[in-house]
Amino acid sequence: MTVNLLDFDAAGLAAWFAQRGEKPFRARQVLRWMHRFGVDDFERMTDVAKSLRAKLAAEAEIRGPAPLRDATAGDGTRKWLLDVGGGNAVETVFIPEANRGTLCVSSQVGCALECSFCSTGKQGFNRNLTTAEIIGQLWHANRMLGAVRQPGVGDSGERVVSNVVLMGMGEPLANFDNVVAALRLMLDDNAYGLSRRRVTVSTAGLVPAMDRLRAEVPVALAVSLHAPTDALRDELVPINRKYPLRELMAACRRYLEDAPRDFITFEYVLLAGVNDGDADARALLALTRDIPCKFNLIPFNPFPGSDYRKPGADRVRRFQEILMNADVVATVRKTRGDDIDAACGQLAGQVRDRSRRQAAQPLVRHEPVAALEESAP
């Protein structure tokens, strides 16, 4: 059976090579060719022994997700719809800015957490993405953006993709092992060489997995909070019934002990008349008073079948002011790529639901792209 080498982080690739009697430096060579240089043809790996190239061609492949659609917005935002097989597809979005370029990556086909304001969560779950399908989104983006390194050329200069956020479709920490393997590749100097500060994982609050992430590969963390009380969060984010706010806040404090940044980003979707009142803002301040943090406020984008409404601009501004008057950084999400449906609340894919929810429809994720401005130091 042919093995996709994009499924391996450095340790996994070295072990696979060792099983075939190859030395560790051969694995490092191939890792660089795949990720730093974006090569998918073993014959182009000119410093790899010809006999090994033949062996690799017989036993392995380098295959990222196949693009189904590629769209570029007027503001430069670029979105790819990527085929992950079985009638499923996920979207990846690149947002260029003056001082950085951020790639928003998906980790699952659908989502099983069923957050009440999220269209993705209401439309079902199919499966976890493999490591190859997760890192393949970055691999594909670099190739399409002309951002791969050239053999023999140094690594000086700015990367086109300088920041990665796992805020696309799915709950990253529910796909822990594959996500961590992809994170290790993002950080590996033989692969993408990104800083821990420039890679962000977003979670709805899977507390044990947050502790594991802190221990294994502590990158920047964003927490989808959305409510200041357990009663409301139980309704909006059902995983809260298993890991209530007291446990979640304690996990955030623990995470900061090893985090590459000195703050947690809290994502907060503002729902008119539900969680956007002055009292809610003050309750948020009380909840997070001993946690260094920033808030990313996301006015809700309605979708068919939802009973929630988007708050008015004055209400959003007032909510933000209450937080900022308490010396807490609070940003309101930027709208980027809305003309190609790549803005917050517009990321779409396709999922064949294997859960008990309704059959497949286009998916919309209502948080991730909103948090992109928080992804830089």
Together in a domain, 160 and 99: yes
Q: Which of 106-120, 273-287, 290-304, 344-358 has the lowest mean pLDDT?
A: 344-358
| Mean pLDDT score, 73-83 | 90
Name the amino acid, one letter, at 280. Answer: D
d(CA 291, CA 260): 15
Residues 186 and 48 in one domain: no
- Residues 199 and 165: their CA atoms lie apart, in Å, by 6
**Do 22 and 110 fall within a single domain?**
no
Name the active-site residue from 118, 252, 293, 344: 344
Report the pLDDT value the prediction gives residue 146, as an integer from 0 to 100: 82
Name the one residue in this structure whose structure tokens are 């790549």.
342
Give the range of the structural domain holding residue 209, as residue numbers without chain letter. 66-374
Residue predicted with more confidence, 360 or 47: 47
Whether residue 48 is found in the same domain as residue 71? no
Are residues 153 and 251 both part of a single domain?
A: yes
> How many Å apart are CA 10 and CA 6, to the nearest integer?
10
* Same structural domain, 57 and 141: no
What CATH number should be reported for the domain holding residue 31? 1.10.150.530
Same domain? For 260 and 143 the reply is yes
Note whether 91 and 364 are within 8 A (CB).
Answer: no
User: Does the pLDDT of residue 162 top 90, yes or no?
Assistant: yes
Domain boundary among 61, 77, 107: 61
Residue 374 pLDDT: 44
Could you read off the pLDDT of 115-130 as tens digits, one per residue? 888 877 666 788 999 9
Average of per-residue pLDDT across 275-297 = 97
Instruction: Give tens-digit pLDDT for 202-244.
Output: 999 999 999 999 999 999 999 999 999 999 999 999 999 999 9
59 in catalytic set: no
The answer to whether 251 touches 210, Cβ cutoff 8 Å, is yes
91 part of the active site: yes
Q: What are the C-alpha distances in Å from 55 to residues 17, 50, 61?
A: 11, 9, 11
- Helix then strand count (H, E) for the chain reads 11, 14
**Considering 22, 91, 133, 374, which one is annotated as catalytic?**
91
Angstrom distance (rounded) from CA 299 to CA 223: 16
Report, as an integer, the average pLDDT of 101-118. Answer: 90
CB 101 within 8 A of CB 373: no
CATH number at residue 161: 3.20.20.70
Number of domains in the chain: 2
